Amino acid sequence: MMARPSPTLLWRRKPTLMIVTLLVVVVALVAAACTSGSDGNAASDANASREAAGLNPLTDEQVNAALKTYLPSGEHDPYIMFASGGHSGQMFVIGVPSMRILKEIGVFTAEPWQGWGFGNVGTMETLAQGDVNGNEVRWADTHHPALSETGGEYDGQFVFINDKANARVAVIDLRDFETKQIVKNPIAIVDHGGTKVTPNTEWIIQGGQYAAPHGWEYSALENYDEDYKGMVTFWKFDRSSGRILEDQSFALELPPYWQDLCDAGKLVSEGWVFCGSFNTERATGESGPDGVPFEAGASARDNDYLHVINLDKAVEVFDAGNTFDVNGFPVVGLQTLIDEGILYFVPEPKSPHGADVTPGGDYIVVSGKLDPHVSVYSFEKIQQAIADKNWVPDPYGIPVLDFDAVLEAQVEVGLGPLHTEFDNDGYAYTSIFLDSTVARWSLGPPYRDDGWKLEGTLPVHYNIGHLSTVGGDTVSPDGTYLVALNKWSIDRFFPPGPLLPQNLQLVDITQPPSDDSDTGGMQLLYDMPLGMGEPHYAQIIKADKLAPFEVYPEIGYDPAIMAVDPDAPVSGNERIERNGNNVEIWMTAIRSHYTPDRVDLKTGDNVTWHITNIDTSFDATHGFALPAYNINLSLEPGETATIEFIADQSGTFPFYCSEFCSALHLEMAGYMLIEP
């Protein structure tokens, strides 16, 4: 290749070229100004259209914000956010910065478009793993998604999420974005502090919340101190099978404090886990023995306890069998935790909520909802206090480390701080619930020499819960965008009845703090309403870390086992076999035909019906809608699925493809005839 002369060389050699070029640039600029509107403002064309629709004209700053989120048709988002679906029991996949919803993944709740829980035996079985003692539970209160990590960074392979209402954890495989497993916690009926993962995803952490007897056995509130217990569960995750190994998992018996969010240590603190807690008062409510309403009783003390857990040691004790069983599940007892030096407490100020480990693993940031500071603890100082036995025991004999000995810094950030995430430049971002702001503050050494100070606050709308920065809880956060997950939207959107959407607000955090910015350099870009549940938390990953299937790798692929089903129908072996009143059907689907397209049954037949989508083109999904029997499948290219039912209603039932797959999609149909 010919070397190109540098611009300076070019100027020196050809002064006339320089003049001509400058002229061209000036002419182009003038032309651009003329076409962009009569006053030369780039926004004025847009504002003319806006005026026609009755919208307010945009300011330059708003135009600037709009440009930062706009993606022309066909351009993909550089980041993908996995947001909890809240009460929907699902998970949302959202592009950042466009804030476009890409998918709602069916998790704990049936989802018809994906055929999740509407007849597909694989999906029905996965959902049934979440039943509670045989009771079907088909909603969930999902709170905290956690992407799998390798070396403390998101690896794009799996995402996990908890159900607070029933203490369940789900595993989603990011090859096809489908839920593969649900586990029900055997000792707790409610949770909260899940899910977070250890830096190599050996363990998925599920922290508890409202104390109850283990196994949720009956015991009157009068027996609270003796019978009620807290817990944290460590689920062993096996990456190769993509499953939680329930028989290699265990829990810790904790005092009946209400454990809250946990975070795993990383780098210097790898092998440790930190969980917030509240109600160390052991309040039992207005109608309970102490007669004080929970909200007052559980926030009476100035401090609750950050639980500092030596997970490596807990695993050793578990491996040695030093456990007892609850519902067949191994639990390391509280006295063992004390004797073996597995559990320590650190006082955390008033009504704590978040506990977040800094990217280097060297500090733990804790916020108390009723304390205007974030409190930053040094992991090194915690280790020193443990070595020095600088503690006093709590009522259960658990060492409470000296607050001043382990505290590194406190930064006043505002009223009602909750959760904290980080960027790549030594700044931390804390959600401030009561003030409805995001606080940007600087970490001290080794992150920033001039740190531990508030840099600015950005108003958000309103009542922010969690916030999420790109890779914000990993060892290498990306300092680009932040999403504020606001609980209330009030006046931000058209009110669709009295139940209002949540408001996810996108914030640009690329600009450094400056003296002339109250917001610490943060700029609000975009409001995204979400009217499907309350997404408490979200994680944002770089899109190029995800490598999902475009189509299933082979025809006859069963997503439930992520392998070819040897019994899957394939082209040429389609058939119907009857054996007494057991009927088995092998059917294929291809644009625009089901083979066979007629199925004859008799009332009372036990029907097993396999269908494979033998199309292999990108996006060539077929559906399978069968009326009266509550069946709908979504068959992605290559996928096979099985439905089972008893033909208990006779009649004539057209079945059809429920995805508009081709020009002859309406003709992609058939008849199921059930003879009385």
Residues that bind ligand CUA (CB under 6 A): 592, 622, 657, 659-661, 665, 668
Whether the Cβ atoms of residue 76 and residue 98 lie closer than 8 Å to each other: no
229 binds, among ligand CUA, ligand K7E, none (CB under 5 to 8 A by kind): none
User: Does residue 196 belong to the site contacting ligand K7E (CB under 6 A)?
Assistant: no
Whether the Cβ atoms of residue 310 and residue 272 lie closer than 8 Å to each other: yes
Lookup: tokens for 235: 């689920």
User: Does residue 93 belong to the site contacting ligand K7E (CB under 6 A)?
Assistant: no
- Cβ 295 to ligand K7E shortest distance, Å: 16
Tell me the C-alpha distance between 646 and 630, whole Å. 12
* DSSP-derived 3-state class of residue 234: strand
Lookup: tokens for 287: 């109608």
Count residues near ligand K7E (CB under 6 A).
11
- Cβ 173 to ligand K7E shortest distance, Å: 24
| Residue number, 413 or 620, with CB nearest to ligand CUA | 620
Tell me the C-alpha distance between 94 and 105, whole Å. 11
Lookup: tokens for 87: 């009460």
| Residue number, 96 or 485, with CB nearest to ligand K7E | 485
Query: Among 345, 537, 552, 557, which residue sits at the site for ligand K7E (rule: CB under 6 A)?
Result: 537
- Cβ 544 to ligand CUA shortest distance, Å: 32
Question: Which amino acid is it at 116?
Answer: W
Kindly write out the interface string for residues 242-281 of this chain, putting x where it contacts ligand K7E by CB under 6 A and - elsewhere. Answer: -------------------x--------------------
Question: Which amino acid is it at 235?
Answer: W
Q: Which residues of 624-634 are buried (b: 16+ CB within 10 A; e: fewer)?
A: bbbeebebbbb
| Residue number, 628 or 664, with CB nearest to ligand CUA | 664
- Cβ 179 to ligand CUA shortest distance, Å: 24
- Cβ 90 to ligand CUA shortest distance, Å: 24
DSSP per residue, 414-460: -SSEEEEEE-TTSEEEEEETTTTEEEEEE--TTT-TT-SEEEEEEE-
| Residue number, 362 or 659, with CB nearest to ligand CUA | 659
657 binds, among ligand K7E, ligand CUA, none (CB under 5 to 8 A by kind): ligand CUA
Q: Which residues contact 97 (CB under 8 A, 6 or more apart)?
A: 68, 69, 71, 77, 78, 79, 481, 506, 525, 526
| Residue number, 348 or 574, with CB nearest to ligand K7E | 348
User: Does residue 119 belong to the site contacting ligand K7E (CB under 6 A)?
Assistant: no
Query: Among 536, 590, 625, 636, which residue sits at the site for ligand K7E (rule: CB under 6 A)?
Result: 536
- Cβ 441 to ligand K7E shortest distance, Å: 19
Kindly write out the interface string for residues 589-608 of this chain, putting x where it contacts ligand K7E by CB under 6 A and - elsewhere. Answer: --------------------
536 binds, among ligand CUA, ligand K7E, none (CB under 5 to 8 A by kind): ligand K7E
144 binds, among ligand CUA, ligand K7E, none (CB under 5 to 8 A by kind): ligand K7E
Tell me the C-alpha distance between 102 and 100, whole Å. 6
Whether the Cβ atoms of residue 501 and residue 488 lie closer than 8 Å to each other: no
| Residue number, 180 or 353, with CB nearest to ligand K7E | 353
Kindly write out the interface string for residues 385-424 of this chain, putting x where it contacts ligand K7E by CB under 6 A and - elsewhere. Answer: ---------------------------------xx-----
Beta bridge partners of 312: none
Tell me the C-alpha distance between 308 and 262, whole Å. 10
- Cβ 640 to ligand CUA shortest distance, Å: 15
- Cβ 436 to ligand K7E shortest distance, Å: 13
11 binds, among ligand K7E, ligand CUA, none (CB under 5 to 8 A by kind): none
Say whether the peptide bond before residue 459 is cis (omega within 30 degrees of 0).
no
Long-range Cβ contacts of 220-228 (<8 Å, 24+ apart): 221/284, 221/285, 221/288, 221/289, 222/288, 222/289, 224/256, 224/282, 224/284, 224/288, 224/289, 225/256, 225/282, 228/256
User: Does residue 369 belong to the site contacting ligand K7E (CB under 6 A)?
Assistant: no
Distances (CA, A) of 104 to 85, 91, 94: 8, 6, 9
Q: Which of 636, 670, 631 is nearest to 652 (CA)?
A: 670
| Residue number, 261 or 432, with CB nearest to ligand K7E | 261
| Residue number, 382 or 633, with CB nearest to ligand CUA | 633
Q: How far is CA 107 from the centre of its chain?
A: 12
Query: Among 145, 352, 465, 479, which residue sits at the site for ligand K7E (rule: CB under 6 A)?
Result: 465
Binding site for ligand K7E (CB under 6 A): 143-144, 192, 261, 353, 418-419, 465-466, 536-537
